[in-house]
A and B are shown apart, each in its own frame.
Chain A
Amino acid sequence: MNSVPQQNVTATDPNPVTGYRTFRLGDFEFSRDAYFVTVKWPSNGQQRSHQMDADDFLRAMMRDVAWGFFYGWVNFDEVIGTRNHYGRVDLYAGAYNASFREAGADYTQQFDTPLIMATFKAILKDWVNEGFDPFAAPEETGSAFGPKHGDNIAAIERSRIATKRMPGLDGDSPLRDDLPVNRQFTDITQDEPEIHAAPGFERELHAFNLFKYLSRSDVTWNPSVTSVCKQSLFCPTTEEFTLPVFHGNDRVEWFLQLSDQIIWDVADKNTGEPRARITMNAGDIAAMPADIRHKGYSQKRSMLLVWENATPDLPKRYESGELPPYPVQM
């Protein structure tokens, strides 16, 4: 039996005009209409508000939910976002925006992970209409706009693949032979490696076609683990259009471009001020330092290896200054 207690999600009845519910989470209020999501919060005795296009908001929230709040900061845009404390999560407005901070118009509230997760899932469930897949690239899916019409529960219930050692091993995550090849990867060779195990070693030798596996990914911008060397995780993913969030990590991570090209906008993690634009082609590898946020642009669906170090005490060590934000001193 599942022993997780039922979370008390606070929601209104559906609005008679738009058909959407409005949600409360602590002092935050989330509502949507045909085009926009509006977030409201109190600060300095005033009510503040912020709007995002509904499609951008739902794509961002989809990643935050599927990743379980991921590592560090998940900025939906330059104002709204979450910070993962692994068990508790900050929801903030303007807290990592230089202008809001200076004006004192920012606001942060911390929640137990199950409550904020349940609320975000309820928002997705209510606000994602039939025909819109917030995990897909725009060319692959319908519109997020208009009054409420139907839902797309199957699309929003996907989650990160959990792999213990490597996909395809006995008892580990499956390969993707049952999924179709994405329309933009039809030129990826689908052959599998040859495994010639000596008698008795059939279960010990293992190999698979990683590019084939990625060519069949049915989602965009969703790092999923494909090999585990202690705390070192290879999390490749297929990318198209824009990364729906501006990710500020609480540790260093690395990108290795496996195919095509991604351009990364890099900005200061705390203030949002631009620092660099990095163009990565096939074979390029680069570090994302621990003091920046990044957002990627991929005009063709491309294969990206995201490399994470999952050691639990890293955020504290970077924050205290024990570890420099840059992984290599040249």
Chain B
Amino acid sequence: MQQTRLGSLDDFQKGSIEIITGRAEHYVMSNVFEVASRSKPYEKVVVGKNLKYVIETLRAEGDSPWFVASHDEFAITLDGEIKIHFVKPAAGPLVGDDVEGTVRLAGQPEGASMGYVLLRRGHQALLPAGAAYRFEAVKPGVVLQQTILGACSVEKWAEICIH
């Protein structure tokens, strides 16, 4: 059997676009490992955008700030080993339903620890609406986040895309 090729921060091969007519930039193509290899820890770099919805690539390294969102978000680990700690905010919702996207919190919110999940490569976690969470990674890794464009989202398409 042919080995399954999974990418990582240390081992990825960006693809290519052969144009017959039109422009390469219309395909908005990047490689999430390349993006994470050039990002600051937990910088939420938008690599996919469909109107208000986004896919973000995060370089996981050390401890992240605490985050929360008014809606469900999802995280998929594509490289490394990442712990996600959860807190149920004691004072009720930290963000209103009208606020979409990830909100960065100033510190650890008051509330009960909900526990943590430990994700390795290929693992997916639910980041439930209203729960505060933070990431922790001993070694650099890569996380994809499914969410909505928010205050922490960083768009730098011209830097990351084939054009």
Contacts and interface: CB of A to CB of B under 8 A. Distances in A.
Interface string A173-208: 000000000011111110111111110110011111
B124 A210 contact: yes
A254 B26 contact: no
A227 B75 CA distance: 10
Contacts of A192: 123
Interface stretch (A39-47, A65-73, A100-108, A229-237): A229-237
Contacts of B4: 184-185, 187-188, 259-260, 300
A193 B21 contact: no
Interface in B134-161: 144, 146-148, 157-158, 161
A130 B120 CA distance: 41
B7 interface: yes
Interface in B1-30: 1-7, 12-22, 24-30
A191 B119 CA distance: 10
A302 B53 CA distance: 25
A193 B74 CA distance: 14
Interface residues of B, number: 69
A287 B48 contact: yes
B72 A194 contact: no
B63 interface: no
Q: Which of A232, A256, A266 has its CB near the most chain B CB atoms (within 10 A)?
A: A232
B163 interface: yes
B99 interface: no
Contact of A187 (B1, B53, B76, B119): B1
Contact of A229 (B14, B32, B71): B71
Contact of B74 (A209, A227, A252, A261): A227
Contacts of A284: 14-15, 29-32
A278 B29 contact: yes
A300 B2 CA distance: 7
Interface in B88-122: 88, 112-122
Contacts of A259: 4-6
B33 interface: yes
A184 to B, nearest CB: 6
A212 to B, nearest CB: 7
A330 B50 contact: no
A285 interface: yes
Interface string A300-328: 10000001110100000000000101111
Contact of B125 (A207, A256, A275, A287): A207
B94 to A, nearest CB: 16
A204 B131 contact: yes
A229 B118 contact: no
Contacts of B34: 283
A263 B5 CA distance: 15
Contacts of B114: 197-198, 201, 204-205
Residue with the greatest number of chain A CB neighbours at <10 A, chosen from B6, B25, B71: B6
A184 B2 contact: yes
A188 to B, nearest CB: 6
A286 B119 contact: no
A289 interface: yes
A266 B19 CA distance: 9
Contacts of A277: 17-18, 20
Contacts of A227: 72, 74, 124, 126, 146
Interface string A269-294: 00001111111111111111100000
B20 A274 contact: yes
B41 interface: no
A229, A288, A307, A311, most chain B CB atoms within 10 A: A229
A239 to B, nearest CB: 13
Q: Across the A-B interface, give the 4 residue pairs with the lowest CB-CB distance, nearest first.
A: A211-B122, A282-B7, A283-B7, A232-B53
Given A166-B126, A277-B17, 5 more contacts: A204-B128, A212-B122, A226-B124, A259-B5, A279-B15
Interface of B: 1-7, 12-22, 24-34, 47-51, 53, 55, 71-74, 76, 78, 86, 88, 112-126, 128, 131, 144, 146-148, 157-158, 161, 163
6 contacts: A188-B122, A197-B115, A211-B6, A211-B121, A285-B31, A327-B50
